[in-house]
């Protein structure tokens, strides 16, 4: 099926699939049936390309990239796969003949929410670019039965619901039960000498679990190659069934079976401060052990009992510490099962793994209580101890006069309880350690991992994040895509730096007004969505000031609230005041156990209720909070944004990737000197970016010298008025005290220094409003943001990983 089908044959395939998979005809089919039939039709067009890819990998004995990630956020697949099979127009025409509309069928798709936020979406952008660039790769992960919770608001409070994403059918996945893998947990180890007097260790586990892989095709834009996203689902073993069922207690046996299948049941909805939960460690080991078994099985068919080639044929990228147990598991497989000598196994392991860090917050570095480890993975704990003891020995040799170093760098922390520091295991057991933006990579070297940098400077490198322009510009913003393509052709889709050619149109008035019209039309679309979903009327000519991301104190949604409340008071105190009409748009989920974050959500909704209804405001300010922000909603929001809020405290946001998606869609950033904001500002030009706030160094110095938030409260009357009004219940007349704790914590601690940055934030936000008032000038800024964002393509990031870390090259497919 390499030649595109005619609309007629596509139509027939569609009808056949409607009949084969849904058991329906056009008359009886509902919208979901039609969507599923269409999805099956598209996926069939990927099968032969996928098979060709596998053969090419075999024939060329290609080096594989294995991306290990506990999270993926692929977004909806239909439009993406139509684009990458070149079938969009054919499908559109074919459906039109049945009076069906492609866009409304695409809306039927439930997106797989198998991740929390940035880290999971980055994994999916990288899978997209790997395929587009032709690098053979497998993304390994977990097929959670329930993804990130569905968020709604009740009386302004966040309410979570289970995300039953498989309910309406999952047309993109292929279960491969015959490729299942058995893995183990618990039990104990036995140490002995074998018949050749060789020291051996045997792990005698207590339970076994089966992993069933599900393949999802990952086609690339303009690329013959189709890669695989391979997600594992947990099943109870049959022998397990037999044993417990025969023991007589049928009901308990079924309960136990459910327990093992719980491993892939649900995604943990926290994206920092991981708590050491047994099930979470089980999930991590489960998917890592299944994936390594799969990788070794494949390698051994090519190189039976020859391990010398392994690091030349497999590069494994660890997406944060979540899959780090893979280092101990590969050591176990090589040493215990395949009987390699420790040093040999260690050399192979280190040359195979590379490690990406996505944080700077020390409290976000994963640690597991030794006791949990012992219970779940007794052999792995021994291996980690062995790795650690050899490491500490080397360390003492290199720094004989610094015994403290061993305490600081030990993989096993001793106080307050014994814990395994996964980041240290990853740093020691891999050949590359990378951050995700220039600033974060520098801070890793100078602070978070300074000791490790001193020890292995050659391992440290930076790979600035990127985003796929296919999903976040071409598909999400068809109007802008058409306008851009009308001037510079479509080469930018695979070579995003070509967007620079738009710079010459900055002086072209016709192009500028077309640019403006596109943004306005996108804003009208979003306004219509806001009207229909939230029943709020917003003015498409107001500035769309947008903050969408996870809810976190360090990201400072609360600072945005202080800005809104400040403007509100200005208007109330002076109803004649001329201000640029402004629509504040929020989207953010809070971890269900994160009380402060949930209170901030309630505050945003409460402020919205008051501001949106106040006749004195007269519609000049509107606050919109979309529930359930996810990839699909993001695709509708970025194209309509004027202003992109990236206001984390400097030194806190590792990179950010939403910031890149906004800039690519022509939004201007209002941001701090943090994460990739810094790179965005350098590239788009300081005059096209509204900067405010402390730098990471200033934050550091201020903290050291003693930070007194109360000083700001006393020096800035508007800040005082704002905080007092929140604290005293202006936005919560029924419960005047509910927000007091938020304000108190700002006045007495203010961990993320909102008050220190408040004055410069208000000022920068005001400059943005003034700049917006001059629409011609604003359009130039907008255009230049798009034109100069080519660097942020995930194609660039992936190419850097491939050449500098994985040492791999594209597959040749005729
Ligand atoms: C770990 C253990 C237990 C429970 C949860 C977790 C967990 C899960 C998800 C910890 C962290 C995450 C996700 C982190 C994340 O999304 N980080 C973001 O990664 C982006 C891509 O690099 C960056 O752009 C963001 O700056 C960073 O915050």
DSSP annotation string for 453-495: HHH-GGGEEE----B-HIIIIIIT-HHHHHHHHHHH-SGGGT-
Report the nearest atom of ligand 1 relative to the CA of 115. Answer: 9
User: CB of 654 closer than 6 A to ligand 1?
Assistant: yes
Cα torsion 615, 619, 621, 626: sign: positive
Task: Write the residue with the smallest CA distance to atom 8 of ligand 1.
Answer: 271
Mean pLDDT of 315-333: 98
How much is the pLDDT for 240? 62
| pLDDT for residue 252 is more than 90 | no
C-alpha of residue 119 to centroid of ligand 1, in Å: 5
Decide whether any atom of ligand 1 lies within 6 Å of the 631 Cβ. no
Catalytic hit among 280, 419, 470, 555: 555
Q: Which residues pair with 315 in a beta bridge?
A: 65
Ligand 1 center–CA 322 separation, angstroms: 10
pLDDT bracket for residue 1 (50, 70, 90): very low
Whether the Cβ atoms of residue 662 and residue 689 lie closer than 8 Å to each other: no
Cβ–ligand 1 contact at 652 (below 6 Å): no
Report pLDDT for 329. 99
197 is catalytic: no
Question: How confident is the model over 581-626, as pLDDT tens digits?
Answer: 999 999 999 999 999 999 999 999 999 999 999 999 999 999 999 9
657 is catalytic: yes
- CA-to-CA separations, 41 to 14, 22, 37, 175, 729, in angstroms, rounded: 6, 12, 6, 18, 56
3-state secondary structure of 731: coil
CB of 465 sitting under 6 A from ligand 1: yes
Answer whether 640 contacts ligand 1 (Cβ < 6 A).
no
The residue annotated as part of the active site, out of 49, 549, 563, 620, is: 549
Q: Is 608 in the pocket of ligand 1 (CB under 6 A)?
A: no
Q: What token pair was written down for 690?
A: 């509204």
By alpha-carbon position, which residue is closest to atom 4 of ligand 1? 274
Q: At what angle do helices 595-613 and 557-573 cross, to 10 degrees?
A: 20
CA distances to 612, 726, 751 from 713, in Å = 27, 14, 15
pLDDT at 247: 67
Number of the ligand 1 atom closest to the C-alpha atom of 436: 22
Q: What's the rounded mean pLDDT across residues 329-338?
A: 98
Secondary structure of residue 622 in the 3-state scheme = strand
Pocket test residue of 272, 426, 554 for ligand 1, highest count of atoms within 8 A of CB: 272
pLDDT tens for 390-423 read 999 999 999 999 999 999 999 999 989 999 999 9
* pLDDT tens-place string over residues 688-707: 999 999 999 999 999 999 99
CA of 424 to the centre of ligand 1 (A): 17
Q: Active-site residue 552, yes or no?
A: no
Q: Is position 358 annotated as part of the catalytic site?
A: yes
Cβ neighbourhood burial of 273 (10 Å; 0-12, 13-18, 19+): exposed
What's residue 363's pLDDT?
Answer: 84
What contacts 247, CB < 8 A, 6 or more positions away?
253
**Does ligand 1 come within 6 angstroms of the Cβ of 412?**
no
Structure tokens of 21?
A: 């998979």
Percent of the chain, pLDDT > 90? Answer: 94
Per the annotation, the verdict on 555 as an active-site residue is: yes
Looking at residue 772, what is its pLDDT? 98
Q: What is the largest CA-CA distance in the chain?
A: 93
Q: How far apart are CA 287 and CA 106, in angstroms?
A: 31
Query: Which tens digit of pLDDT belongs to each residue from 423-433?
Result: 999 999 999 99
Residue nearest to atom 3 of ligand 1 (CA): 274
- Whether 380 is a known active-site residue: answer no
Q: What pLDDT sits at residue 740?
A: 98
Q: Is the dihedral of CA 521, 523, 529, 535 positive or negative?
A: negative
Secondary structure in 3-state letters for 209-253: EEEEEEEEEEECCCCCCEEEEEEEEEEECHHHHHHHHHCCCHHHH
For residues 90 and 401, give the distance between their C-alpha atoms in angstroms, rounded to a whole number: 72
Write out pLDDT tens, residues 258-300: 888 999 999 999 876 656 689 999 999 999 999 999 999 999 9
Q: How far is the CA of 271 from the centre of ligand 1 (A)?
A: 5
Over residues 718-723, the mean pLDDT reads 98
CA of 343 to the centre of ligand 1 (A): 33
Q: Which atom of ligand 1 is nearest to the CA of 71?
A: 9
Q: Is 674 in the pocket of ligand 1 (CB under 6 A)?
A: no
Residue pair 322/366 in contact (Cβ under 8 Å)? The answer is: yes
For the Cβ of 463 lying below 6 angstroms from any atom of ligand 1, the answer is: no
């Amino acid at each position: 099926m390499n030649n595109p089908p005619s609309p007629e044959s596509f139509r027939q395939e569609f009808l056949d699939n409607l009949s084969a998979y849904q058991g329906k005809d056009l008359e009886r089919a509902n919208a979901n049936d039609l969507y599923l039939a269409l999805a099956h039709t598209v996926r069939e067009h990927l099968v032969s390309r996928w098979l060709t890819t596998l053969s090419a990998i075999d024939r060329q004995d290609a080096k594989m990239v294995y991306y290990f990630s506990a999270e993926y956020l692929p977004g909806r697949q239909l439009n993406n796969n139509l684009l990458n099979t070149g079938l969009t127009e054919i499908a559109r025409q074919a459906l039109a003949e049945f009076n069906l509309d492609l866009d409304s069928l695409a809306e039927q798709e439930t997106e797989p929410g198998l991740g929390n936020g940035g880290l999971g979406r980055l994994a999916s952008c990288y899978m997209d670019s790997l395929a587009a660039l032709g690098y053979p790769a497998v993304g390994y992960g977990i097929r959670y039965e329930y993804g990130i919770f569905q968020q709604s608001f009740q009386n302004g409070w966040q309410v979570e619901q289970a995300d039953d994403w498989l309910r309406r059918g999952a047309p993109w996945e292929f279960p491969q039960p015959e490729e299942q893998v058995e893995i183990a947990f618990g039990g104990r180890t036995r140490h002995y000498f074998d018949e050749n007097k060789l020291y051996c260790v045997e792990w005698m586990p207590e339970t076994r679990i089966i992993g069933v892989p599900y393949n999802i095709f990952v086609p690339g834009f303009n690329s013959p190659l189709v890669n695989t996203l391979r997600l594992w689902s947990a099943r109870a073993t049959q022998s397990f069934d037999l044993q417990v069922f025969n023991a007589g207690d049928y009901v308990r046996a079924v309960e136990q079976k459910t327990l093992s299948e719980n491993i892939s049941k649900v995604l943990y909805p926290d994206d920092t401060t991981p708590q050491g939960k047994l099930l979470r460690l089980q999930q991590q080991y489960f998917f890592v052990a299944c994936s390594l078994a799969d990788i070794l099985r494949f390698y051994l068919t090519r190189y039976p009992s020859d391990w010398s080639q392994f690091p030349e044929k497999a590069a494994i990228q660890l997406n944060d510490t979540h899959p780090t147990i893979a280092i101990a598991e590969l050591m176990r497989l090589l040493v215990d099962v395949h009987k390699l000598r420790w040093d040999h196994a260690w050399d192979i392991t280190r040359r195979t793994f590379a490690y990406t860090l996505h944080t700077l917050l020390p409290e976000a570095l994963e640690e597991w209580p030794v006791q949990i480890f012992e219970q779940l993975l007794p052999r792995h704990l021994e291996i980690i101890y062995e790795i650690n003891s050899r490491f500490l020995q080397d360390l003492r040799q290199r720094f004989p006069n610094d015994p403290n170093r061993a305490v600081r760098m030990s993989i096993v922390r001793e106080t307050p309880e014994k814990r395994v520091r996964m980041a240290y295991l990853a740093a020691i057991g891999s050949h590359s350690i990378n951050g995700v933006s220039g600033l974060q990579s520098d801070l890793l070297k100078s602070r978070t991992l300074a000791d490790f940098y001193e020890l292995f400077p050659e391992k440290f490198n930076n790979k600035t994040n990127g985003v796929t322009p296919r999903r976040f510009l071409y598909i999400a913003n068809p109007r802008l895509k058409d306008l851009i393509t009308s001037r510079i052709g479509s080469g930018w889709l695979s070579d995003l730096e070509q967007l620079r050619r738009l710079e010459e149109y900055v002086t072209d008035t016709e192009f500028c007004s077309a640019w403006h019209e596109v943004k306005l039309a996108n804003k009208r679309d979003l306004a219509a969505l806001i009207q229909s979903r939230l029943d709020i009327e917003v003015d498409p000519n107001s500035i769309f000031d947008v903050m969408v991301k996870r809810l976190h104190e360090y990201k400072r949604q609360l600072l945005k609230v202080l800005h809104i409340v400040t403007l509100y008071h200005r208007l109330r105190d002076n109803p004649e005041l001329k201000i640029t009409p402004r629509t504040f748009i929020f989207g953010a989920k809070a971890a269900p156990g994160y009380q402060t974050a949930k209170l901030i959500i309630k505050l945003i909704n409460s402020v919205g209720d008051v501001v949106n209804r106040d006749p004195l405001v007269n519609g000049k300010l509107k606050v919109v909070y979309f529930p359930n922000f996810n990839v699909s909603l993001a695709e509708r929001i970025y194209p309509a944004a004027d202003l992109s809020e990236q206001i984390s405290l400097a030194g806190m946001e590792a990179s950010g990737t939403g910031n890149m998606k906004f800039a690519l869609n022509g939004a201007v950033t209002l941001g701090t000197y943090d994460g990739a904001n810094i790179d965005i500002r350098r590239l788009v030009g300081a005059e096209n970016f509204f900067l405010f706030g402390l730098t990471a160094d200033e934050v550091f110095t201020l903290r050291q010298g003693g930070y007194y938030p109360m000083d700001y409260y006393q020096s800035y009357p508007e800040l005082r008025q704002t905080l007092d009004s929140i604290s005293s219940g202006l936005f919560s007349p029924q419960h005047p005290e509910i927000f007091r704790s938020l304000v108190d914590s700002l006045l007495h601690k203010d961990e993320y220094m909102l008050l220190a940055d408040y004055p410069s934030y208000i000022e920068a936000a005001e400059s943005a409003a003034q700049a917006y008032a001059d629409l011609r000038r604003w359009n130039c800024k907008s255009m230049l943001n798009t034109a100069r964002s080519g660097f942020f393509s995930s194609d660039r990031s992936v190419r850097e990983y491939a050449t500098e870390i994985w040492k791999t090259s594209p597959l040749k497919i005729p």
